[in-house]
Structure 1
Amino acid sequence: MLTVLPLPSPVVPPTLALLGMDSILSTQGIMVMLLVAYAGAMWMFLKSAPKVYTIMVSDLEVARRFYEGMLNLPAAEVPLHYYYNYEQTLGTGGLDPFYMGGTSSLAGAGPAGGPDGLWYQLRKNTQLHIISGASLGQRNRQRHVCFDRKCLEYILMRVQLTGIQHKIRTETPLNFLVKDYEEQIIELAEVDG
């Protein structure tokens, strides 16, 4: 016959048993809990923040007539993270507007005025931000330049669906021309680089 003897239970000193609750309720424990809660809130905020594509144009008024009038893009609310430290998030906080070529919305965007430009809803959780600063193209064409190919693909699809007269010049980098209501040619170009 095999006899099973119970194992002795570990003896926990009373100070260690209370250490768990005391460390959670200490200043350091509360700070750690607050940091974890803050990290969770930031993750949820950033997860729900819209994807923002930026297009730089040579004339904001021509761009407004094209994106609102011809493409019927609805206006969008400026995302909250664009209100604060706008220039620093673009990495242009230290640039002199003189070197940016043309008038730039970044030069006039102060902390009190908020970010300049036009904001449109491109897709469900995707927004289009139009800023000035691009130079005129060949034959004084209005130019709209973008670093994101996906953005220009969305716009080209919208142009094709609305039946706007257009011509694709190159596939890589994507470059196409459209005519606005005033028969003015607008060049939309992906910046290769």
Structure 2
Amino acid sequence: MTIVTHLTLTFNYLGAFLPIDSVFSTQGIMVMLLAAYGLAMWMFLTSAPKVYTIMVSDMEVARQFYEGLLQLNVADVPLHYYYNYEQTLGTAGVDPFYLSATPTATATSNLGTRDGLWYQLKKNTQLHIIGGASYGAKNRQRHVCFDNECLEDILLRVESRRLKYKVRRRKPLNFLVKDIDERIIEMVEVKN
């Protein structure tokens, strides 16, 4: 059997399952466009950075802590946040103890932006800081997070910067950190 005969048989065999005239029909083109759109959305969403959200009691103190002490780089707001993707915090089942009952000016201040603060935590992981947490015991700054992995990463960063800290509980994670002004920041993991 020659190569030309083999190619002709292969083409005829594939043509029985995928006729060329139906591929270029209106319906065929629509199917190809939908498949391309689905692939583009999948690539967009899988390349988007993972975002951890932390609620803090004072945005300015948080900025000083994350930029100054932890030396996290400021990040741009991820593109998927412009389209309201992953905007919900899931605070319906959160103990009100961690949330501020009466928002203060410092708790609701976003330092001129409505999106809060954004930092690059790892290569494809960002940290989103928003106001709304209540102050802790003895008027401690409180940073509340819903992800253990996020607080573990922050604790590693605290350890690598040789900051004073004390782990109070491992599950759910709760630790204290002192900042430059000797303020105690309580990092709290909240379980839904």
Scaled by the length of structure 1, the TM-score of the pair is 0.77
Query: CA contact under 8 A between 1:108 and 1:116: conserved in structure 2?
Result: no
Quickly say closer, same or farther: Cα 1:177–1:91, change in 2 above 3 A.
closer
Larger Rg belongs to: 1
Determine if the alignment matches structure 1 residue 126 to structure 2 residue 134: no
Quickly say closer, same or farther: Cα 1:58–1:91, change in 2 above 3 A.
closer
Pairs aligned (count) = 167
| 1:21 alignment partner in structure 2 | 20
Identity %: 64
Distance 1:52 1:102 in 2: 27
Task: List runs of 5+ in structure 1 lacking aligned partners.
Answer: 1-11, 93-98
Distance 1:40 1:180 in 2: 46
| CA deviation vs aligned residue, 1:50-71 (integer Å, no higher than 9, x gap) | 1111111111111000000000
Distance 2:127 2:76 in 1: 11
Q: How does 1:17-96 map to 2 (within 5 A)?
A: 20-85=19-84, 89-90=87-88
Greater shift, 116-125 or 19-28, is seen at 19-28
Residue 78 of structure 1: CA displacement?
1.1
| 1:4 alignment partner in structure 2 | none
Query: CA contact under 8 A between 2:59 and 2:109: conserved in structure 1?
Result: no
Query: CA contact under 8 A between 2:100 and 2:134: conserved in structure 1?
Result: no
Q: How does 1:106-117 map to 2 (within 5 A)?
A: 116-117=115-116
| Paired letter, 1:44 | M
Determine if the alignment matches structure 1 residue 172 to structure 2 residue 175: no
Moved over 3 A (4+): 99-104
Distance 1:118 1:85 in 2: 17
What's the RMSD between the two structures over aligned residues? 2.9
**Helix, strand or coil for the counterpart of 2:87?**
helix
Distance 1:190 1:91 in 2: 14
Residue 162 of structure 1: CA displacement?
0.3
Scaled by the length of structure 2, the TM-score of the pair is 0.77
Distance 1:43 1:190 in 2: 31
